[in-house]
């Protein structure tokens, strides 16, 4: 499933989507950047409440398909500008990371 | 290939907004060179953690990535405070990062273990008050070390 379809199917807010065609496979939940770097797999949806600029580099290097900001966490303009430039998709939801994970579990497998 | 292709970066200390940019650039360069994606992934993780350590612990430094015939070599050199007890620093979860740095998502104490895990060899030379030099080699088609 592409990130664009994923966002639409689950009604997640699209904060920026420079690469809508990226394919999704699996997911990883984490807010500590070294854990995400070490454990997230290519094409994962990355569920997190961390929304500072450093997430863009981590998403780029770990090759995640998109960042899904949970718990209603928002991203500021600078983050979204950088993410757009670097081709990093960012979605958001008011759900908790757990609720979001349960909701998407069958679709991202 | 007798001559090695070398990328060199100055990494700024305490600059959290551009932290990781050298690693992102290296990844781009390696992609353009057609290096396999598993190797790129391991280089990305190892270099990112080393780069971030120079930013948060050492006041910056220099990163050099050499593309060699059988492996990629990453050399990270700084003139920061050095590491007193390397064995302790290598332990998963050990971190001296400040609360400010932790609030940004750093300081999990997994950086050095991630570097070790994703490289085929890693040597740390560090002298307190002088600085730290870390050399990592990542073989093409190699396998990440199991465990942390
Ligand atoms: N380049 C460096 N200069 C000085 N100290 C360092 C350096 N790299 C790592 N350290 C020390 O080793 C510790 C562990 O590093 P690491 O595993 O990357 O965890 P973290 O960066 O999350 O603290 C750091 O908290 C710091 O005390
Ligand atoms: Mg570290």
**Nearest alpha carbon, ligand 1 atom 9:** B53
Query: Which atom of ligand 1 is closest in space to residue B108's alpha carbon?
Result: 22
Ligand closest to the CA atom of residue B76: 1
Measured from the Cβ of residue A47, the count of other Cβ atoms closer than 10 Å reads 25
Kindly report, residue by residue over B40-92, the tens digit of the pLDDT: 999 999 999 999 999 999 999 999 999 999 999 999 999 999 999 999 999 99
Out of 3.40.1390.20, 3.40.50.150, 1.10.10.10, 3.40.50.620, the CATH code matching A3-104 is 3.40.1390.20
CB contact under 8 A, A33 and B23: no
Query: Which atom of ligand 1 is closest in space to residue B49's alpha carbon?
Result: 18
DSSP assignment, residue A70? -
Quick check: B1 pLDDT over 70?
no
So where are chain A's domains? 3-104
Amino acid B70: pLDDT: 94
The binding-site residues of ligand 1, defined as CB within 6 angstroms of any ligand atom, are A 34; B 49, 53-54, 57-58, 78, 80-83, 89, 94-97, 106-112, 132
**Dist CA A15 CA B54 (whole Å):** 31
By the 8 A CB rule, do A76 and A98 touch? no
**Nearest alpha carbon, ligand 1 atom 12:** B89
By the 8 A CB rule, do B74 and B47 touch? yes
Quick check: B35 pLDDT over 80?
yes
Q: Which residue's entry shows tokens 């990093």?
A: A88
So where are chain B's domains? 5-139
List the structure tokens of B109. 């104490």
Confidence of residue A69 (pLDDT cuts 50, 70, 90): very high
**Dist CA B95 CA B107 (whole Å):** 6
| CATH, domain range B5-139 | 3.30.565.10
């Amino acid at each position: 499933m592409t990130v664009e379809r994923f966002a639409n199917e689950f009604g997640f807010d699209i904060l920026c989507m420079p690469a809508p065609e990226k394919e999704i496979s699996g997911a990883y939940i984490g807010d500590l950047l070294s854990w995400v770097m070490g454990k997230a797999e290519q094409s994962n949806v990355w569920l997190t409440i961390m929304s500072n600029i450093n997430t863009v580099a981590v998403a780029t290097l770990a090759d995640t398909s998109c960042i899904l900001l949970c718990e209603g966490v928002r991203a500021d303009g600078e983050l979204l500008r950088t993410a757009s430039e670097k081709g990093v998709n960012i979605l958001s939801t008011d759900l908790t990371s757990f609720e979001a994970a349960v909701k998407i579990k069958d679709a991202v497998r | 290939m007798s001559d090695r292709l070398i990328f060199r970066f100055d990494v700024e200390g305490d600059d959290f907004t551009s932290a990781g940019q050298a690693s992102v650039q290296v990844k781009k360069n390696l992609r353009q060179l057609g290096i396999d994606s598993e190797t790129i992934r391991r280089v990305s993780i190892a270099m990112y953690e080393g780069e971030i350590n120079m930013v948060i612990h050492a006041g910056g430094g220099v990163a050099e990535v050499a593309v060699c015939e059988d492996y990629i070599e990453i050399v990270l050199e700084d003139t920061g405070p050095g590491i007193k007890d390397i064995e302790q620093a290598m332990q998963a979860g050990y971190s001296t990062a400040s609360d400010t740095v932790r609030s940004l998502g750093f300081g999990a104490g997994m950086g050095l273990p991630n570097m070790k895990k994703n490289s085929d060899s890693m040597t740390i030379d560090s002298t307190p008050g002088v600085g730290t030099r870390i050399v990592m080699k990542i073989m093409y088609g190699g396998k990440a070390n199991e465990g942390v």
